[in-house]
A and B are shown apart, each in its own frame.
Chain A
Amino acid sequence: MHITVIGTGYVGLVTAACLSDFGHTVVGVDKDHNKINALKNGRIPIYEPGLDDIVQRNVQAGRLRFTTDITEEFDRTQVVFIAVGTPPQEDGSADLQHVEAVAREIAPLINDYKVIVNKSTVPVGTGARVRQVIAAHQTQKVPFDVVSNPEFLREGSAVGDFMRPDRVVIGTESDRAREIMKEVYRALYLIETPFVFTNIETAELIKYASNAFLATKITFINEIANICEAVGADVQTIAKAMGMDGRISPKFLHAGPGYGGSCFPKDTKALVRIARDHGETASIVEAVVQANQRQKERMVQKIHNILGGLQGKTIALLGLAFKPNTDDMREAPSLTIIRGLLEQGATVRAFDPAAMDEARKILGDTITYCRDEYETAQGADALIIVTEWNQFRRLDLARMKTLLNQPVLVDLRNIYTPQEAKAAGYRYTGVGQGKSSETHGN
């Protein structure tokens, strides 16, 4: 099949690359010349493990091309994916200007029946809206269908997630479009991936519902972590015992500094907004949004407490990205933490294996950027683990101790046990860690 993917950010690029790997002929379009130039030269503008191999392989095979010109190959294309950004606006609602711009651009180019697929995360009703916009801007009356096909990939494991998804959701009222979508995802059909076929509104809601639920799960365990600290209980044991309940599932029950990233903050706020716009309330998600903000701020207080104040202190932060294996800094807890530390008169040194450039764009010269974990620790009053990159899991704690001004470890991801930190001579605090516990069996 001939497929056009418009927008080559995280989602668009992964979609384009993986669909070409499924054997389709794919054109990736972006209005950003720098991005397209980089891609044409075989450089991947984002950090995403495994993506470069797939892109390279399919470019070489002639199945994948990149362009800034949306008209390129458009006549032959059967399926057009819209994968542009939908950032949040002030009021929490999703900004649809890019999606609508694309709809207007492609409308006059539709020369033959095409399926227009919304892959961006868009509010309920956007499918219908895109249909209207296209119909209004068509120059020839050619039939087309709009499909909602939300994307569930996660940054850091995007390729695996796309190639082996938990499910594929396809929202459309048209049988013709449904058959074409099955053809697009034939490779996944063959490996028995569950497909959920439904109407556009339901498909659009599934994406928000899933993300909002996962955000709720994280925030729920964070609130439990806070009470653990108050009563002397251990949140990791609680999470483990909860997760053994077949109805709960052990995933996403790690207490930490609060969720961030390009999806959860945006999608939770958008869902709250969608509900309000329809005269309903998403009151649980509203509580989640607020509790998550408090959780991020609470981390500053935690550092303050263990040091007995922040004025004049030097703080070493390990990890800036919102999670490991990505360079994405959007809504990262590190930003709230750094802002709080600076406000209270501390100096911040930081290191991240992938997100230094992105961090610089946001934080400028308000903090010191270091070459590695050990340089970061140099002369600091506390070492803070903010993102659980694998390389931070096996720090040489003894060496670290000689570099630090005082041996204080604040482990916001619970990657060390209080025992090992104490054994290494540190004053230690994690998130929701009360007293020790052991697990037997299995």
Chain B
Amino acid sequence: MDVAVIGCGYVGLVTAAGLADLGHSVIGIDKDPRKINKLKAGIIPIYEPGLAELVQRNLVTGRLTFTESIRPAVERSVVLFITVGTPSNYDGTADLTQVEAVAREIAAAMTSYKVIINKSTVPVGTARRVKELIKKHLPAPVAFDVVSNPEFLREGSAVHDFIYPDRIVIGAESVKAVALMKELYSGFLKKKVPFIVTNPETSELIKYAANAFLANKIAFINELANLCEAIGGDIETVALGMGLDHRIGPHFLKAGPGYGGSCFPKDTWALIQIGASYGSPLTITKAVVEANENHKRRMALKIKDALGSPAGKTVAVLGLAFKAQTDDLRESPAIPIIEELIASGVSVRGHDPAALTEAKKAFADTITYYEDIYEAARGADAIVIATEWEIYRQVDLPRLKSVMKDPVIIDLRNIYRPDELSTAGFRYTRIGQKDIR
């Protein structure tokens, strides 16, 4: 099928390349000319394992092309994906400016039947809104359908998640649109991926509900981690004992510095706002958001506590991205931690195997940047593990100790076992376990 994907960020690029790989003829469109130029040359502007190969492979066959201009792409395609950003407004609601702009542009270029698919995460009612908007801006009456098809991929494993989805959710009202969606995704139907076909409202809400629940799981275990520190319990074992209950499941029960990223914070805020606007409060999600904010603040206190008197100390923060396998810094817990440390007179060094470029945008010259872990640690008073990158797990602990001024590790991801740290002669603080000083 002829497909256009409008917006080539994380989601759009993976969708475009993934659909091309399924055999469709896909045009990726972005208004950012630098992005498009890079993509045309096979250069991937984001860090995402496996994505470069996928894009290059399909560029070569000609099934995947990129352009800045929406009009010709709309003219040739039956299926149009909207995959632009939906950032948070100040009040937590989702900002639909980009989605609406694209809808108007599509309308202006439409001369035959199209299915317009909302893949961006958008509030309940957006499919209907997009439909009305397009109708209003059509130069001449043309039939079309708007479908909600939320995306569940995770940064860091986006390609895998596209190829092996847990389920595909389609929110549509027209039989014709559903049939086209099934044709588009026939590769998944053959693989027996479950399809959920429902109305657009339900489909839109599914995405928020799933993310809010996952955020809930993380925030829940983090509150218990705090309790464990107070009572002498061990959060890793609590998580193990809980996770063995098949009604709970072992996933997303890893205590840490609080969730971040481009989705959980934004989607939980948006869900709360959706609830508020319909007079149906989502009090648990609200408690989750607040608990997560408190937890991030608490992390900075934990570090300051371990430092004793923070002013004048040097701390190496290992890991700046909001999680491993990504260069995404949005809402990363490292941000409030570093800001608080700086405010307390700590000089901060940052290390990250993928996110240094992004970090430089966020922290500018308030911190110093290192490409080598041991250089970052040299002469430091403490190390903070803020992201669970595999390379930190494999660090040479005795060597690390030898370059540091004071052998202190604040392991906010519990990537080291207590015994390996104490054997190596470190004093350490973990999450959800009493400190060893």
Contacts and interface: CB of A to CB of B under 8 A. Distances in A.
Interface string A225-251: 011111111100110111011111101
B241 A169 contact: yes
A437 B202 contact: yes
B395 interface: no
A281 B202 contact: no
A217 interface: yes
B194 A441 contact: yes
Task: List the 10 closest pairs (A to B, CB-CB), nearest first.
Answer: A206-B241, A287-B287, A437-B198, A247-B251, A251-B247, A167-B244, A230-B278, A278-B230, A233-B202, A249-B249
Interface residues of B, number: 69
B301 interface: no
B196 interface: yes
Interface of A: 124-125, 152, 166-167, 169, 194, 196, 198-199, 201-203, 205-206, 209-210, 212-214, 216-217, 219-220, 223-224, 226-234, 237-238, 240-242, 244-249, 251-252, 274-275, 278-288, 290-291, 434-435, 437-442
A8 to B, nearest CB: 26
B167 A216 contact: no
A227 B282 contact: yes
Contact of B227 (A220, A280, A290): A280
Interface in B233-264: 233-234, 237-238, 240-242, 244-249, 251-252
A441 B242 contact: no
B202 A219 contact: no
B230 A279 contact: yes
Q: Which of A231, A285, A291 has the most CB of B within 10 A?
A: A231
B129 to A, nearest CB: 13
A251 to B, nearest CB: 4
Contacts of A441: 189, 192-195
A237 to B, nearest CB: 5
30 contacts: A125-B231, A152-B245, A166-B246, A196-B237, A202-B233, A210-B242, A210-B248, A213-B220, A213-B242, A214-B245, A220-B216, A220-B285, A227-B205, A227-B274, A227-B275, A230-B280, A233-B201, A238-B209, A244-B166, A244-B167, A247-B217, A251-B247, A275-B223, A278-B227, A281-B223, A282-B223, A284-B223, A291-B284, A440-B194, A441-B189
A300 to B, nearest CB: 17
Contact of A241 (B193, B210, B220, B232): B210
Interface in B187-225: 189, 192-199, 201-202, 204-206, 209-210, 212-214, 216-217, 219-220, 223-224
B283 interface: yes
B116 interface: no
Q: Which of B205, B210, B228 has the most CB of A within 10 A?
A: B205
Contacts of A285: 220, 223
Given A242-B206, A248-B210, A248-B214, A278 B284 contact: no
Contacts of B279: 230
B213 A220 contact: yes
B248 A226 contact: no
Contacts of A435: 199, 201-202
A209 B227 CA distance: 11
Given A246-B166, A280-B227, A439-B197, A206 B238 contact: yes
B223 A280 contact: yes
B288 interface: yes
Contacts of B248: 210, 213-214, 217, 249
A241 B196 contact: yes
B209 A242 contact: yes
Contact of B214 (A201, A247, A280, A437): A247
B320 interface: no
A437 B232 CA distance: 49
B124 A283 contact: no
A439 B249 CA distance: 24
Contacts of A275: 223, 227
B131 interface: no
A422 to B, nearest CB: 17
Nearest to B250: A247
A278 B225 CA distance: 13
A237 B125 CA distance: 17
A203 B223 CA distance: 17
B32 interface: no
B40 interface: no
B291 interface: yes
B152 interface: yes
B396 interface: no
Given A241-B167, A284-B291, A291-B284, A202 B237 contact: yes
B290 A205 contact: no
Interface string B149-181: 000100000000000001101000000000000
B226 interface: yes
B200 to A, nearest CB: 9
A237 B220 contact: no
A209 B199 CA distance: 36
Q: Which of B189, B194, B206, B288 has the most CB of A within 10 A?
A: B206
A240 B167 CA distance: 10
Nearest to A278: B230
B152 A284 contact: no
Given A244-B166, A283-B287, 15 more contacts: A205-B227, A212-B220, A216-B284, A232-B201, A233-B199, A242-B213, A245-B210, A251-B247, A280-B230, A283-B294, A284-B284, A287-B283, A437-B196, A441-B193, A442-B194
B284 A220 contact: yes
A104 to B, nearest CB: 25
Contact of A205 (B166, B210, B228): B228
A287 B227 contact: no
B246 to A, nearest CB: 6
B373 to A, nearest CB: 30
Contacts of A206: 237-238, 241-242
A198 B238 CA distance: 9
Contacts of A194: 244
B286 interface: yes
A263 B210 CA distance: 26
A249 B202 contact: no
A216 B221 CA distance: 12
A230 B287 CA distance: 21
Residue of B189, B238, B279 with most partner-chain A CB within 10 A: B238
A286 B287 CA distance: 9
A284 to B, nearest CB: 5
A264 to B, nearest CB: 12
Interface string B360-383: 000000000000000000000000
Given A230-B278, A248-B249, A439 B227 contact: no
B210 A242 contact: yes
Given A209-B238, A231-B124, A166 B230 contact: no
A284 B230 contact: no
A442 B189 CA distance: 9
Contacts of A198: 234, 237, 241
